[in-house]
Structure formats: C-alpha cells, structure tokens
Amino acid sequence: VGLPPPPTTTQSNGKKQQKDTNTKTTFTKKSNQENRASLSYPPPSTPPVPSSYDSIHQVITHLIRDYTEVGLPIRSSLYSWSISKLKRYCPDRKEGKKVLIPGAGLGRLGLEVVKEGYHVEMNEISIVMASAAH
C-alpha cells in the first residue's frame, strides 16, 4: 500500500503554500545559523570555575569536619556508609588489593579505611588540600 499523492496546488491556496515555504526557509536559515554558532571550532572559551578546595576556608572546614569532635556526626554518617559498602563489595582485605580514594582531601576517609585493614592509595588534585594533609 503506497502513500497517496500530494495534493495539487490551486490558485486559492497558492498564497498559503508560499507563506508556508517562506516560514520553513526562515526557520531553516535560523536553525543553521544557531547550529553553526554552537558547533564552532575551537569552542568559545569559558571562564575557569574556581575550585572550592583552593581556599583556606575550605581547608579549615575540612579540618573541623575530619579531625574534631564537632565534625563527628557528619564524619560518622559519611564515612561509615562508605566503609560499610566497601566491606560489602570487597570483603577480603588480605589479598593485597588497594583501595583508591580519589579526591582524598585531608585523608580522613583513607585513615578510616586503613583501620579496617585495607591497603589504601589516595590522591588529591588541590595543592592546598594536599599541602594541608601533608
């Protein structure tokens, strides 16, 4: 079963068809211009987003959270959940496998994981955080 033939243009709807064609052409031109602008190479530069870990304020906040009694409730909820999942999915700690902790901050999660008997490797991209952890 084929498709019916397209309707023929008559004088009465000729103006409407011309208007529709103009609208489609205008839309296509605008769409193509927008696509070219969004796909330009090289892409337009964007300002760098400042890292929240590069301020002394964040270092102090992490120190308080990770190493004081004030931060104990937060630390308990965050780290105990992570360690429980680690124990569930990686129960055998004696095989010498390492646990990688990216974005280790000041190292408290790594310390807690080591206490559980795992071998840990941590990394931190922020020089400020890594210096404070050292």
The per-residue pLDDT for range 33-53, each reduced to its tens digit, is 665 655 555 555 666 555 555
Prior bond to 42 cis, omega within 30?
Answer: yes
87 contacts 58 by C-beta, under 8 angstroms: no
The pLDDT assigned to 35 comes to 58
Q: What is the pLDDT of residue 18?
A: 60
Q: How confident is the model at residue 69 (pLDDT cuts 50, 70, 90)?
A: very high
Q: Which two tokens stand for residue 75?
A: 């630390």
Answer whether residue 93 shows pLDDT above 90. no
Can you give the pTM of this predicted structure?
A: 0.58
Say which residue the tokens 């010498």 belong to. 96
Give, for 85, the enclosing helix (H) or strand (E).
helix 72-89
57 or 121: which carries more pLDDT confidence?
Answer: 121
